[in-house]
Structure 1
Amino acid sequence: MKKILVPTDFSDQASYALEVAYHIAKRAQSQLILLHVVEDTNVASMHYTGEIDMPHMEDRLFMMKLIEKGKKDLADLSSNSQYADIIVEQQLRIGSPYHNIRDIIQEHDVDLVVMGTKGSSGLEEFLIGSNAEKVVRHAKCPVLTIHKKAESFDFKDIVYATALEDEEEQCVNIVKSFQSLYGSTLHLLRVNTPNNFQSDKTARPELEAFAKRCNLQNYKIHIYNEGSEEEGIIYFAESVNADLIAMATHGRTGLAHLLTGSIAEDVVNHTKRPVLTYVIGKNK
């Protein structure tokens, strides 16, 4: 884990994410990349080079003020003495936060994105979504979402919710790297729902076989019954006081996403615990 990207809008949620990212970077001896995006609906993603091409002087002046403020805030954050023991790189971009995050991941070969999110619910969740949701759905690297100020920076208990798919092994390797870094106990979880139920007699051997195939160490197997996968993952994580929830996602888009939704995105939206996600099937 060499490079960790932390997008920031200087909000409380972003500061919570930076705090977690710093402690991961310190432990893993990683570099932090701090990204601030000055939003402009006219462009998707653009480096700041000092020239702003806008037809109206008022718009140009307003954008320049936003850029100068962003530069100052980014410089102040990067030079904070708290982060003196790690390498911190600054990136200021213009356009869409999501598109710029995507570009930075590719350009800098980012290993992990750590970002804050408020979560969402109801109509807002259905109509708008958030930048965090888009990144979770499409990122080419693992994404760790942070919802609140961390009470601890040790991920001692990790819940890994599995559907036992072969492609999940990509995600499991990432979870194992966190487990190795923190000496964690891994809770391998299957959630039974009314529409997708397996008896312990059937499910437990399948979970054991999955663990063996993935060469898991220091793990426990759990089967939890709940009305939905999302609720089962969240409630089980609460029951073991998990420090981290980890799960794979298919990153569905378009009509498929509208019809089926995403369990990973639902969990990101509705839990207060850190969630580590990885898109499988698109990252080969």
Structure 2
Amino acid sequence: MSSLGRKTGRCIVVPTDFQQPARRAFGYGIKLARLLGVWMEIVHVIKTPYDMPGPSQYSRYLDTAKTSALLELARLTRIAKEAGVQVEPSLQFGVPDACILRRANHVRAEVIVMGTEGRTGWDRLHIGSTVEAVVRQAPCPVLAIHGGLARDVVGHPARVKLARLLVATDFSPCADQALQAVSALARLTQAKVCVVHAAGKGASKKDGQRKLNVLMEELRRQGLEEVEGFWIPGEPIETILSQAARWESDVVSVGTQGRRGLSRLVLGSVAEGVLRRAGCPVLVVKNAHRLSVPMLDTKGDAQADDAHH
């Protein structure tokens, strides 16, 4: 594997609370780091308690939590290094989402990979306040991994599948960012790509299909051989989710408009709906984020993970 990750400073951030969803996300983090030739920062946040009765109890709490966290971080660091990934552990204290976002900004992360508490039924509508806050305010794309989907305990990168990538498009600039991110990832993994457009009432099928054909031709010019496009009438969220399940997608990618200030706290309704309910990992790509999706945009020396097995 290339060592260009450290030389160029390119990095991905993988937050962890050491629970099942985070363990699964860790496997995806290793997979992506190896594919992209970047280094990985593993972030654990010890929450600041607000109900400690006194300084001595607070000190004991921090000592115990810190010791336990450092042991777990060391274990994950060892696993990543054994997988050929350059890695740095980071122990933070405070509010989890604020700490994760601060680290992502500090290292100029190209992508954040994190687990969610996604389950089946109504529970899956609540993906966790930390994940939602990070996705809404992140300076880069976020790959969210539903913990409820995991069959393996550790989330071994060899079990991570990136062979079937679905991207939703409404032909907007932010959707194009998601499309280009998926295209670059597909070139690294030789994945099949499915482009889906959910057409609203009164939409012209002829016009929509023409735009889809243009996108697919562009993807083929970029080197993708297996590309499918679907113009499907219907409500966007349900259409995307249904097609993702039907097509057995390994990842669904959606673009959303990133803005400055308070408006950045409002994630696009389609992206949020897909993120909360998808039966597979979701890559949320913003249009106005700082890095303009250079992540997943390298071929060069980065090697496909499967070449290491």
> TM-score, normalised on structure 1?
0.82
The answer to whether 1:130 aligns with 2:129 is yes
- Would the aligned equivalents of 1:136 and 1:278 in 2 still touch at CA under 8 Å? no
Question: What amino acid does structure 1 have at the position aligned with 2:16?
Answer: T
Partner of residue 149, structure 1: 150
Partner of residue 50, structure 1: none
Tell me the CA shift for residue 60 of structure 1.
2.5
Higher mean C-alpha deviation, range 268-277 or range 162-171: 162-171
Mapped to 1, the partners of 2:79 and 2:36 lie a distance apart of 20
SS of the residue corresponding to residue 66 of structure 1 reads: helix
Mapped to 1, the partners of 2:202 and 2:247 lie a distance apart of 22
Q: 183, 204, 209: which is aligned to 1:176?
A: 183
Higher mean C-alpha deviation, range 208-217 or range 109-118: 208-217
Partner of residue 35, structure 1: 43
Mapped to 1, the partners of 2:70 and 2:264 lie a distance apart of 40
- Would the aligned equivalents of 2:80 and 2:87 in 1 still touch at CA under 8 Å? no
Tell me the CA shift for residue 76 of structure 1.
2.0
Mapped to 2, the partners of 1:65 and 1:158 lie a distance apart of 42
Question: What amino acid does structure 2 have at the position aligned with 1:156?
Answer: A
Residues 59-99 of structure 1 show CA distances to partners (whole Å, capped at 9, x for unaligned) of 22212221222112111221237734221210000111111
Decide whether aligned partners of structure 1 residues 3 and 282 sit closer, same or farther in structure 2, where only a CA change above 3 A counts. closer
Residues 6-57 of structure 1 show CA distances to partners (whole Å, capped at 9, x for unaligned) of 1000000000011121122223332121110001167xxxxxxxxxxx9722
Count of aligned residue pairs for this structure pair: 268
Higher mean C-alpha deviation, range 4-13 or range 152-161: 152-161
Q: 2, 22, 25: which is aligned to 1:17?
A: 25
Mapped to 1, the partners of 2:80 and 2:265 lie a distance apart of 43
Decide whether aligned partners of structure 1 residues 256 and 94 sit closer, same or farther in structure 2, where only a CA change above 3 A counts. closer
The answer to whether 1:239 aligns with 2:246 is yes
SS of the residue corresponding to residue 10 of structure 1 reads: coil
SS of the residue corresponding to residue 114 of structure 2 reads: strand
Decide whether aligned partners of structure 1 residues 11 and 212 sit closer, same or farther in structure 2, where only a CA change above 3 A counts. same
Decide whether aligned partners of structure 1 residues 261 and 29 sit closer, same or farther in structure 2, where only a CA change above 3 A counts. closer
Mapped to 1, the partners of 2:194 and 2:80 lie a distance apart of 37
Partner of residue 15, structure 2: 7
Tell me the CA shift for residue 122 of structure 1.
5.8
Residues 241-263 of structure 1 show CA distances to partners (whole Å, capped at 9, x for unaligned) of 111101101257868977x9621
Mapped to 1, the partners of 2:132 and 2:80 lie a distance apart of 32
Question: What amino acid does structure 2 have at the position aligned with 1:143?
Answer: V
Give the 5 Å matches for 1:127-276.
Answer: 129-147=128-146, 148-149=149-150, 152-193=159-200, 196-212=201-217, 217-218=224-225, 219-226=227-234, 228-251=235-258, 262-276=269-283
Structure 1 unaligned segments of length 5 or more: list them: 43-53
- Would the aligned equivalents of 2:118 and 2:276 in 1 still touch at CA under 8 Å? yes
- Would the aligned equivalents of 1:98 and 1:135 in 2 still touch at CA under 8 Å? yes
Mapped to 2, the partners of 1:192 and 1:247 lie a distance apart of 16
Tell me the CA shift for residue 203 of structure 1.
0.9
Mapped to 2, the partners of 1:250 and 1:235 lie a distance apart of 23
Question: What amino acid does structure 1 have at the position aligned with 2:170?
Answer: A
Mapped to 1, the partners of 2:202 and 2:183 lie a distance apart of 27
Partner of residue 114, structure 2: 115
